[in-house]
């Protein structure tokens, strides 16, 4: 059982931050990883890093680090999409998928990893979950235009997303305590004075409280919900992308994991994009990748040994 690392965009910082992270991993941790990549893209990145390296049939030697690799040759649509397809197949047989950043134009007709996963597995309830030192967050919707939010955020969508998230995290032995759910409108609707959409949130939360053994409360006003949190293991649930991620990234920067809940396997990714402007400059900050890859390694240990590793990956951020 391994962590299958997909290459990401060949002109982004994904490979650079991954190789920098590998320099801090033990031999045992490196042996749990399998990079899926193209020789030309790997070579270009490693040359820019100005470190001694050599490429072999099934591994990359970088300084004293030996990084297992599967070399790709043919391309379907794009390098990052080809790498992703192979990673999904391998992870389905047992393991974890770790995706390095790519851009939305690298997918054939989809706006990113999560949208493609939902289509491929026919699971619209797949959730975007974010974890960082001292914070974890779930989004009910993600890449949805503001003009469509009121239609998309139905009571069923909220219920399905919350139950999927709870069940997946429980299966993983992931540490959670209470789910705190935000409202949609300012002040969570002020009991109907500012829109009626938050009635859907109230109904979904009450249904879960009545039918499931889940510690959950809401809706809370989105601008003050953080104050309701009593533990770093509480899950902050926001209804749309910028409502949650403005807070998450404002507090955490790019030290965090983007985790997909509900796939046949765990999927982790750094919580940052391709940063094309940094490609080839050897200036990319690796700490977000380091944090998220450490979390993936912990999750692999849980899968292999059935351990309840209640601690999360540690950040090197000062």
Percent of the chain at pLDDT > 90 equals: 87
Q: Which runs of E-coded beta strand occur in the chain?
A: 2-6, 33-37, 53-55, 59-62, 65-71, 95-99, 127-132, 135-139, 179-182, 216-220, 235-238, 257-261, 267-270
Q: Can you give the pLDDT at residue 155?
A: 96
Q: Can you give the pLDDT at residue 228?
A: 96
Q: Can you give the pLDDT at residue 229?
A: 96
| Confidence bin at 315 (pLDDT 50/70/90) | very low
| Confidence bin at 317 (pLDDT 50/70/90) | very low
Do residues 306 and 284 both lie within one domain? Answer: yes
Please return the burial class of 253, using the count of CB atoms within 10 Å of its CB with bins 0-12, 13-18 and 19+: middle
Do residues 3 and 123 both lie within one domain? Answer: yes
Mean pLDDT score, 99-126: 93
What is the C-alpha to C-alpha distance for residues 174 and 48, in angstroms, rounded to an integer? 38
- Of 226, 254, 282, which residue constitutes the final position of a domain? 254
Of 12-16, 105-109, 305-309, the range with the lowest mean pLDDT is: 305-309
Do residues 160 and 118 both lie within one domain? Answer: no
Do residues 266 and 239 both lie within one domain? Answer: no
Q: How large is the C-alpha radius of gyration of the chain?
A: 20
**Is the pLDDT reported for residue 306 higher than 80?**
no
Q: Can you give the pLDDT at residue 217?
A: 97
**Is the pLDDT reported for residue 115 higher than 70?**
yes
Do residues 17 and 96 both lie within one domain? Answer: yes
**Is the pLDDT reported for residue 314 higher than 90?**
no
Q: How much of the chain is in helix, strand and coil states, percent to nearest 5? A: 40, 20, 40
Give 84-97 pLDDT, tens digit per residue. 999 999 999 999 99
Residue that wins the pLDDT comparison between 274 and 143: 274
Do residues 7 and 52 both lie within one domain? Answer: yes
The CATH number assigned to the domain holding 222 equals 3.40.718.10
**Is the pLDDT reported for residue 13 higher than 70?**
yes
Do residues 314 and 237 both lie within one domain? Answer: no
Residue 187 domain boundaries: 134-254
What is the C-alpha to C-alpha distance for residues 19 and 238, in angstroms, rounded to an integer? 33
Of 11-20, 83-92, 249-258, the range with the lowest mean pLDDT is: 249-258
Do residues 103 and 172 both lie within one domain? Answer: no
Asked if 305 and 297 touch (Cβ cutoff 8 Å), the reply is no
Q: Can you give the pLDDT at residue 304?
A: 86
Instruction: Evaluate if pTM is beyond 0.85.
Output: yes
Do residues 4 and 63 both lie within one domain? Answer: yes
- Of 232, 254, 276, which residue constitutes the final position of a domain? 254
| Confidence bin at 143 (pLDDT 50/70/90) | confident
Give the alpha-carbon dihedral of 108, 110, 113, 117, to 10 degrees: -100
Strand pairing partners for 270? Answer: 257
Do residues 156 and 268 both lie within one domain? Answer: no
- Of 233, 254, 275, which residue constitutes the final position of a domain? 254
**Is the pLDDT reported for residue 316 higher than 50?**
no
**Is the pLDDT reported for residue 134 higher than 80?**
yes
| Tokens standing for residue 134 | 């001292």
Do residues 187 and 217 both lie within one domain? Answer: yes
Give 197-247 pLDDT, tens digit per residue. 999 999 999 999 999 989 999 999 999 999 999 999 999 999 999 999 999
Q: Number of folded domains in the chain? A: 2
Q: Can you give the pLDDT at residue 313?
A: 42
Do residues 290 and 207 both lie within one domain? Answer: no
Mean pLDDT score, 42-47: 98
Mean pLDDT score, 306-318: 43
Please, what is the average pLDDT of the chain? 93
Asked if 179 and 205 touch (Cβ cutoff 8 Å), the reply is no
Q: Can you give the pLDDT at residue 157?
A: 95
């Amino acid at each position: 059982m391994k962590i299958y690392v997909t290459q990401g965009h060949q002109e982004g910082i994904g490979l650079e931050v991954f190789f920098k992270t590998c320099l801090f991993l033990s031999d045992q941790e490196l042996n749990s990883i399998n990079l899926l990549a193209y020789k030309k893209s790997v070579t270009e990145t490693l040359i820019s890093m100005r470190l001694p390296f050599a490429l072999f049939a099934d591994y990359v030697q970088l300084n004293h680090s030996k990084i297992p690799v599967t070399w790709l040759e043919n391309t379907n649509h794009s390098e990052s999409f080809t790498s992703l397809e192979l990673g999904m197949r391998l992870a389905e047989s047992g393991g974890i998928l770790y995706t390095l950043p790519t851009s939305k134009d690298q997918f054939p007709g989809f706006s990113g990893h999560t949208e493609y996963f939902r289509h491929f597995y026919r699971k619209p309830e797949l959730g975007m979950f974010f974890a960082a030192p001292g914070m974890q967050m779930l989004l009910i919707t993600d890449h949805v235009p503001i003009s469509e939010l009121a239609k998309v955020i139905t009571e069923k969508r909220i219920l399905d997303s919350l139950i999927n998230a709870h069940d997946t995290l429980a299966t993983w032995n992931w540490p959670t305590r209470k789910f705190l759910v935000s409202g949609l409108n300012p002040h969570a609707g002020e009991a109907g004075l500012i829109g009626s959409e938050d009635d859907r949130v109230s109904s979904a939360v009450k249904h879960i409280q009545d039918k499931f053994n889940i510690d959950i409360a809401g809706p809370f006003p989105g601008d003050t919900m953080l104050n309701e949190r009593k533990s770093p293991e509480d899950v902050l649930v926001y209804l749309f992308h910028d409502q949650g991620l403005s807070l998450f990234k404002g507090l955490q920067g790019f030290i965090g994991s983007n985790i997909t809940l509900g796939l046949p396997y765990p999927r982790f990714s750094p919580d940052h994009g391709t940063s094309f402007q940094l490609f080839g400059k050897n200036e990319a900050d690796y700490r977000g990748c380091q944090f998220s890859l450490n979390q993936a390694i912990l999750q692999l240990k849980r899968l292999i040994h059935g351990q309840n590793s209640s601690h999360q990956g540690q950040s090197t951020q000062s």
